[in-house]
Chain A
Amino acid sequence: MISRRVFVKSGAMAMVSLGFAPSFLARAAEGATARRKLLIAIFQRGAVDGLNMVVPYGEADYYKLRPTIAIPRPGEAEGAIDLDGFFGLHPRMEALKPLWDNSSLAIVHACGSPDQTRSHFDAQDYMETATPGIKSTRDGWLNRCLQSIGSDTSPLRGVALTRQMPRSLQGHAPTLAVGNVDQFNVRGGMDAERQLETAFAGSSDSLLNGSAKSAFEAMRTLRGSTSGPYTPRAGVEYPRSPFGQALQEIARIAKANVGLEIAFAEATNWDHHVAEGGTQGQIAQRLDDFARGLSALAGDLGEQLSDTVILTMSEFGRAVAENGNRGTDHGHGNAMLLIGGPVKGKKVHGKWPGLGADQRFEGRDLAVTTDFRDVFAEVATRHLTLSPEALNRVFPRYAPANALGLIRS
């Protein structure tokens, strides 16, 4: 499927940029640059309150049902940042406004799962496997994407900047979960490393054997391409938070040109049942970190952003009305963000269902009008160039809807 011209050109480029290249390194680099498309998936674990993130300030019910935590309308003190006359960003997300203005930020609102669970665990599982309602799915949708868009076995094609492998990336395609690139090394010298590599290669357990093989290969590749401390592009400043640091590591690996195709990071702590806050307080702090991190990543990627899509997701939204503790309970529909050159930005996509009593899901939550898989599938096909035949494998039991028009063709 990869045209010979692209392959030769990028393969040659990779060789030049890396100087001497052991075979595994060249293989990884070829796999990467031949494709050059990058998807960065960000999971907001704990169910972000999408109605305070992308505020439907044009809805009277929004203010009626959230007496203490609503974000004021644009123009009012600490008001939302107006996007299109109806929706506004939380005021602490101003770092993303330039991306909106230059059309590289799009939003899909009232998006979510056809499954109705309000369990974090299940909903995350369903989103990460992209099989809502089916618990037996073993692998994650991002891993199935990797399986379908190439056959290279470098684990650096799919990297999660998390200590544990997220469900989204679990599966047969080798992937890597690593907290930090610098710590990804066996201490004790080359002898120790060789001894352990041999021992694991001899293990009959396929999980141990395969994981170790991936580890040693990736270690060598990274060692060859990311030595020394990392300096982001001038003027770019990542938040010092775990989220900000994870995004910085993604940029570092992406720029090292080692074959990264799908990266994954997570932003945690969104489960605000109590004292969620509005323009100030818990959610404001979390969104501030979130927006500044994404903005830094986009800025740091520079030119590479034109081949990159950053996609944010969260397991479900939160109830329209605030609860008795000035927080919000588990809800349904939510907002997803897409950032990048290929994104048809400056638009809130999807059909807005309204927040009126009869428009709400089960009378309480934002209804879902866009299946989250519609967004995933469009990113996979139009950006990662997944073939229509492979779509069924990545999204089993899913009938593709009309494209939302999120990605420029």
Chain B
Amino acid sequence: MRTNMRAIAAGFVILLAVVAVGPTTPAASIPSDRGAVEHALNRLTFGPRSGDVERVQKMGLSAWIDQQLTPSRVDDSALASHLPPIPAKPATVNSPQEARRYGREAVQALAAQKVMRAIYSDRQLEEVLVDFWFNHFNVFAGKGRTSQFIPEYEREAIRPHVLGKFRDLLEATAKSPAMLFYLDNWLSADPEAAERFAAQRQQRVGARGQQPPNAQQRRRGLNENYGRELLELHTLGVDGGYTQEDVIEVARAFTGWTIGPPEPAGGRGRGNRGRRVRQGPQTPRPAMDADPGNAQFRFMAALHDTGAKTILGQHIKSGGGMDDGERVLDIVAAHPSTARHIATKLVRRFVSDDPPAALVDRVAARFRETDGDLREVVRAVITSPEFFAAEARRAKMKTPLEFVTSAVRASGRDVTDATPLLNALRQLGMAPYMCQPPTGYDDVAETWITAGALVTRMNVAQQIAGAQRASTIGGPEFQKR
């Protein structure tokens, strides 16, 4: 009995030690042979450069993975000189055309930056994850004014959270003008609230002796687009167990989450140079005609549906405001289907087009037990035996972005202008920020490896690597990662 107790106690101490040291303990399962290093570089970076394998071997693969998971520990100061500047957001614009031009130029510069970061950043895993999560929370630069919000979307909503908490990432996207515009939530309103305000506004404007606005132009109501994609794509996944009723309830919870100029200091808000934004705080209206520099997330209580809601079986009391939407984010972020959906996508990205079920289970469990700590979730994927398994090595096909950037990295050529690479990506069907559906770009071989695409890859190889190395980079082995 006594020995048993002692054994249990000893076991407990060991367990404590393991827990205390926690994730920084080099996982025993990480192999260190050259093949494993090559594999890790293929999957966790945009392709090895000459000398990378030796450098990582010298440092130790396990230490290198730890470092990549903590990008602040990697000096990346050399990157800045490679990044073309993104035009400053104009505080005011004189015409919609000007705003559109700004959006176009900003996204062009950002796309060039994306390619340059993939090629030159030493925080490679972070760049891989920024790409992954942007794609997960995809927005399309071609839709209306989405483009003008994309640089800040990537910089402020995506990038800071890729190794943080999923719930924070989710909220940052939910409150981003890019997402609010792309999935139409900025327009979604409680139909009754919208009618009330149209009437008030008409009264006031009419009293000033001006033309009453076209009543129909002021009609507003519920828009389900964001609610649906939040459940289907961002969190639970299409088989995650929600209904059309849930979609509507979620959409109701997010009414009033919109875009506008900053809250006026008081009185009748003139906001933006007294031009264009004519609504005072009593009669708020989402203001996309606000100048780009001034448009930001706003909660407009007056547009919110304050009724009770039931979402995925959970009740939200009536009388709520912005917190209704936040409550929804809590519910969906903590839902077990979300853990499974995110785990599946990460395993597909890093391990295999056919995610091994046992690994998905473990990664989903890690998601739940760490409250969606993405650093630990990613660690669980990339230090797993399945990640290093023989059948996983060179089993993924490169997407066009991976192909193009890894070709440059392998060729050792210096890129001063990303334009030809962006043209290649367009030809290969993967122009950055130009994926129209909210699903984002596919992550399976069948989508990207087709007869037509291979010919384009051979020609892009020629262009990037020159005739000498075209047959290597355009050849079969280089398509794998």
Instruction: Tell whether A and B belong to one assembly.
Output: yes
A: residues with CB less than 8 A from B are 45-46, 67-68, 116, 118-122, 135, 155, 163-165, 170, 174-179, 183-188, 192, 195-196, 199-200, 202-203, 205, 207-209, 211-212, 214-215, 218-219, 268-269, 273-274, 323-327, 329-330, 362
Please, how many angstroms separate the alpha-carbon atoms of A227 and B235 in the complex? 50
Query: Which A residues lie within 8 Å of B452 (CB)?
Result: 163, 165, 176-179, 184, 215
Residues of A within 8 A of B233 (CB): 121
Report how far A215 CA is from B456 CA in the complex, Å. 10
**In chain B between 223 and 243, which residues have their CB closer than 8 angstroms to a CB of chain A?**
223-225, 228, 232-233, 238-239
Cβ contacts A to B, 26 pairs, < 8 Å = A116-B244, A120-B437, A121-B437, A121-B439, A163-B427, A163-B428, A164-B429, A164-B448, A164-B450, A179-B427, A192-B458, A203-B476, A207-B449, A208-B479, A211-B451, A215-B451, A215-B455, A268-B436, A269-B436, A273-B184, A273-B225, A324-B187, A324-B219, A325-B223, A329-B223, A330-B228
Q: Which residues of A contact B446 (CB under 8 A)?
A: 165, 170, 207
Q: Is the CB of B471 within 8 A of A177?
A: no
CB contact under 8 A between A119 and B221, given known A205-B476, A212-B454: no
A219 touching B216 by the CB < 8 A rule? no
B437 A214 Cβ-Cβ under 8 A: no
**Could you say which residues of chain A place their CB within 8 Å of the CB of B239?**
135
User: Do the beta carbons of A329 and B225 come within 8 Å of each other?
Assistant: yes
* Chain A residue, CB-CB nearest to B190: A324
Complex-state Cα separation, A5 to B238, whole angstroms = 52
Contacts of A207 in B (CB 8 A): 397, 445-446, 449
Interface of B is mostly: helix
A214 x B451 contact (CB < 8 A) = yes
**Residues of chain A contacted by B427 (CB below 8 angstroms):** 163, 179, 183
In the complex, per-residue mask of B408-447: 1 if CB is within 8 Å of any chain A CB, else 0 = 0000000000000000000111000000110100100111
A199-B475 in contact (CB<8A)? yes
Q: Which residue of B lies closest to A185 (CB)?
A: B455
**A200-B451 in contact given A119-B228, A329-B223, A329-B225 (Cβ < 8 Å):** no
Other-chain residue from A195, A214, A326 in contact with B219 (beta carbon distance below 8 A): A326
The interface residues of chain B lying within 8 Å CB-to-CB of A199 are 471, 475-476
Interface size in chain B (residues, C-beta < 8 A): 53
Residue among A118, A183, A325 making CB contact with B244, cutoff 8 Å:
A118
A185 to B452, CA, bound (A): 9
Of chain A, the residue at the smallest CB distance from B229 is A119
Residue of B nearest to A202 (CB): B476
Which chain A residues lie closer than 8 Å to B428 at the CB level? 163
Q: CB-CB < 8 A to B296: which residues of A?
A: none
| Contact status B474-A196, CB under 8 Å | yes
Contacting residues, chain A, for B253 (C-beta < 8 A)? none
Inside 8 A of B477's CB, which chain A residues have their CB? 203
User: In the complex where A186-B458, A205-B480, A212-B476 touch, is A163 in contact with B453 (Cβ < 8 A)?
Assistant: yes
B189 on interface, CB distance cutoff 8 Å: yes
B220 at interface, CB cutoff 8 A: yes
Say whether B475 contacts A177, CB under 8 Å.
Answer: no
Known contacts A121-B232, A177-B451, A212-B451, A196 near B475 by CB under 8 Å: yes
Known pairs A164-B448, A195-B471, A325-B223. 13 more at Cβ < 8 A?
A120-B437, A165-B452, A175-B450, A176-B451, A178-B455, A192-B462, A208-B397, A208-B454, A218-B451, A323-B221, A325-B221, A326-B219, A330-B228
Cβ contact within 8 Å between A165 and B450:
yes
Residue B380 at the chain A interface, CB threshold 8 Å = no
Q: Which residues of A lie under 8 Å from residue B220 when comparing CB positions?
A: 324-325
Closest 10 CB pairs of A and B: A324-B221, A163-B429, A203-B476, A215-B451, A178-B452, A214-B451, A199-B475, A177-B452, A165-B450, A324-B220
> Nearest residue in A to B437 (C-beta to C-beta)?
A120
Q: Which residue of chain A has the shortest Cβ distance to B216 in the bound complex?
A: A68
What's the least CB distance linking B393 to chain A, in Å?
13
Bound together, the chains give a CA A116 to CA B450 distance in angstroms of 32
Q: Choose one: B228, B442, B448, B454; the contact of A215 (CB below 8 Å).
A: B454
- Interface mask (B133-166 → A, CB under 8 Å = 1, otherwise 0): 0000000000000000000000000000000000
The distance in angstroms between the C-alpha atoms of A79 and B368, with both chains bound, is: 57
B188 at the interface (CB under 8 A from A): yes
Docked-complex contact B238 and A211, CB < 8 angstroms: no
> Do B232 and A119 have beta carbons less than 8 Å apart?
yes
Contacts of A211 in B (CB 8 A): 449-451, 453-454
Tell me whether B16 is interfacial, beta carbon within 8 Å.
Answer: no
Instruction: Say how far A333's CB is from chain B's closest CB, in angstroms.
Output: 16
Contact residue among B451, B467, B480 (Cβ-Cβ distance under 8 Å from A188)? B467
Closest-by-CB residue of B relative to A193 is B458
Write the nearest CB–CB distance from A238 to chain B, whole angstroms.
21
Shortest CB-to-CB span from B183 to chain A, Å, is 9
Q: Decide: A273 and B436 in contact? CB cutoff 8 A.
A: no
B140 to nearest A CB, angstroms? 11
The complex places the Cα of A205 from the Cα of B397 at a distance, in Å, of 10
Query: How far apart are the CA atoms of A330 and B224 in the complex, in Å?
Result: 9
**Are the CB atoms of A274 and B451 closer together than 8 Å?**
no
Chain A neighbourhood of B462, CB < 8 A: 187-188, 192
Asked if B191 CB lies within 8 Å of chain A CBs, one says yes
Q: Which residues of B contact A195 (CB under 8 A)?
A: 471
Complex CA distance for A177 and B445, rounded to whole angstroms: 14
Q: Find the residue from A67, A203, A208, A362 having the highest chain B CB count within 10 A.
A: A208
CA gap between A136 and B130 in the complex, in Å: 29
Residue numbers in B under 8 Å from A192 (CB-CB)? 458, 462, 467, 470-471
Residues on A with beta carbons closer than 8 Å to the beta carbon of B475:
196, 199-200
Contact partner of A324 among B189, B451, B456, B476, CB < 8 A? B189
A residues in contact with B448, CB < 8 Å? 164
- Chain A residues near B480: list those with CB within 8 A: 205, 208
Please determine whether B445 and A325 come into contact, CB atoms closer than 8 angstroms. no
Shortest distance between the CB of A84 and any CB in chain B (Å): 31
> Which residue from A170, A208, A329 sits with its C-beta under 8 Å from B476?
A208
The residue in A118, A163, A165 that gathers the most chain B C-beta atoms within 10 A of its C-beta is: A163
Q: Are B238 and A121 in contact (CB under 8 A)?
A: yes
Query: Complex formed: what's the CA distance from A165 to B187 in Å?
Result: 35
